[in-house]
Amino acid sequence: MPSSAILLISCPDRKGVVASIADFIFNHNGNILFADEHGDGATNLFLTRVEFDPKDFDFNLTQFAERFAPIAGEFQMDWRLAHSGDRPRIAIFVSKYDHCLQDLLYRHHNGELHCEIPLIISNHPDNQRIADFYRVPYFVVPLSRDNKREAEQKQIELVREHQCNLVVLARYMQVLSNEFIEAFGSEHLINIHHSFLPAFVGSKPYHQAFQRGVKLIGATAHYVTQVLDDGPIIEQDVVRIHHRDTIDALIQKGRDLEKVVLSRAVRWHIENRVLLYGNKTVVFQ
């Protein structure tokens, strides 16, 4: 598909919002390709994603903010404009487990993830061979309780040096400090947690699930906040388990979920399909 423009909007829900957006695009010779919307009755909030072809627009899209301002002001819109041709730059953080890292790199390599991955950062050297195979620079930043702040500052420098606008925690087994989170903002940090949140937060969720005797286990991709494993959820999935399954069996089944759930969440984020509101997300398909 030719390069399209993507308009993401949240505003108070009232009559005329959809018509005003459609009229604006039509009156400037644009063509709407896809449109999706959601109204939250509890908060009276309206959210929409409108993808349109700007090829015949009668003004340059660099002027979009100025031209759209009257409508945005009238309806109190919080909005942004993205482009389908944009390729976000992603920094992947990983520890020793490689399944999520491998899945992201494979999907990027085969063109499924339209982004750039200029670096991988790890606190262990174990995944160097994978990075070498995909020809992605791999930086080892050892981290301990004694040097955590120094290590995180080095990581922040690397992410900024490589001009990344998204950090993906692909089973990075460290709790980020508030300072690190504030450096990039929650909406630019995606984590995969190996349970169906809000159940079994923190470490060893599969062991917790085994002890509890649950019949389903899951994985959750979410934005990172200062409260552990409590950020807005982007994607989740589950798999049924059997009473004969051992902890090792749970972990094996869970890893298959983790990599798929994380890759979905990353793809939806870079395709500008996710809108945040409060501690929730709307994911437009």
Residues 6+ apart with CB under 8 A from 160: none
Q: Which amino acids are annotated catalytic?
A: 229
* Structure token pair of residue 193: 């947690």
* Structure token pair of residue 186: 């929650």
Residues 6+ apart with CB under 8 A from 274: 234, 268, 281, 282, 283, 284
Name the strands in the sheet holding 116-122, side by side, starting at the edge strand that comes first in the sequence.
138-140, 116-122, 89-94, 166-169, 189-193, 216-223, 233-240
Q: How many CB atoms lie within 10 A of CB 92?
A: 27
Q: CB of 91 within 8 A of CB of 104? A: no
- Give the integer Cα–Cα distance in Å for 64 and 66: 5
